[in-house]
Copies of this chain bind each other. A is one copy, B any other.
């Protein structure tokens, strides 16, 4: 089952046009990715202590519907693993009434926070850190 977190739109996230600002969707996506890691047993503090951190290399979003004040949205997070230093993250934003609000696809990696460079084999590193690796598709 795909991981999902429900997010309530906050009033200050609406911009002058009366809808959730486009950049906020990226904050929601970021939050869903961290919550997915947390559900898998990996906290931000764990990662910082271990000196590694997830980074986004590329991201594409398609906006389908506006989000307005009072809306709630379910944001999914599904990791797809290949062989190299990167992985894919697919995310759907669906309003509580079932309407698809946005779709996001990201290419991510793991960074050595000291050397500020990408680490090889992120798959094994996540698996070693996670208590529930199946939530990460591992």
Q: How many copies of this chain sit in the oligomeric assembly?
A: 4
Instruction: State in angstroms the CA–CA spacing of A2 and B39 once bound together.
Output: 31
A14, B11: Cβ atoms under 8 Å?
Answer: no
CB distance from A44 to the nearest CB of B (A): 4
Kindly identify which residue among B12, B24, B45, B68 contacts A18, using a CB–CB cutoff of 8 Å. Answer: B45
Kindly identify which residue among B11, B17, B35, B57 contacts A31, using a CB–CB cutoff of 8 Å. Answer: B11
List chain B residues, Cβ under 8 A from A60.
58-61
The residue in chain B whose Cβ has the minimal distance to the Cβ of A53 is: B17
List chain B residues, Cβ under 8 A from A44.
11, 14, 16, 18, 69-70
Interface string of A41-78 (1 = CB under 8 A from B): 00111001000010111111111001011100000000
CB distance from A76 to the nearest CB of B (A): 16
List chain B residues, Cβ under 8 A from A128.
none
